[in-house]
Amino acid sequence: MILHDFPLSSASYRVRIVLNLKGLAYEKRNYVLRAGEQRSPEYLAVNPAGLVPALEVGGLRLGQSLAIIDYLDALHPKPRMIPADPIERARAMELTLTIACDIHPINNLRILQYLEHDLGQDKAAVDGWYRHWVEQGFATLEKLLPDTSFAGGDAPNIVDACLVPQMFNARRFKVDLTPFPRLTAMADRAGETPAFRNAAPPLV
């Protein structure tokens, strides 16, 4: 099992967490995104989107972190990342997609580079853009969180695997987390467990 990775990619970070939670061994191949290594012909042959992560298992080559997590859950169902119960599954995916669709895509590296290089925005404006969308998404999550130990329930699941990387990046961009006490506490609780700690990128 090969994970095509970049330590600071929150999408890759999600997959590393899930691989650790499931106790699966894998080989990491890292790409420096700011240097454009993910757009090399060799990597585009693995993932035509030119994004990380991508997972190779046997002859399968799969991109998109949530698709990878769903595949790993089907192949190695314990511990479950996506609940089997229809209501619990729907709630978990509501929280997950708030992060993976409403926050992350408009704040990832290629968007920030477009704002800077193509639209001529300075660092203060780019960082302000990042914080604005994180704060909006976190405000929604703070209201939706269940009364459980972790964001995903009584044990970490796909919600926590998405939340912890997003919280890591929120802190990198100096988002004011004061309005989100429950969200912060749940992310920190999950982040302190071995599977999450061992998936974390180096502090920057």
Using one digit for the tens of pLDDT, what is the confidence trace for 156-167?
999 999 999 999
How many domains are there within the chain?
2
Residue with the larger pLDDT of the pair 32 and 72: 72
Q: Is 164 helix (H, G, I), strand (E, B) or coil?
A: helix
This prediction has a pTM of 0.93
Using one digit for the tens of pLDDT, what is the confidence trace for 82-131?
999 999 999 999 999 999 999 999 999 899 999 999 999 999 999 999 99
Q: Same domain, yes or no, for 99 and 52?
A: no
Q: Same domain, yes or no, for 147 and 191?
A: yes
Q: Which domain holds residue 188?
A: 86-197
Rounded to an integer, what distance in angstroms lies between the CA atom of residue 169 and that of residue 139? 16
Q: Same domain, yes or no, for 96 and 193?
A: yes
Rounded to an integer, what distance in angstroms lies between the CA atom of residue 67 and that of residue 200? 21
Count the residues in the chain. 204
- For the ranges 30-34, 76-80, 94-98, 153-157, the lowest mean pLDDT is seen at 30-34
- Partner residues linked to 5 by β-bridges: 30
Q: Same domain, yes or no, for 13 and 102?
A: no
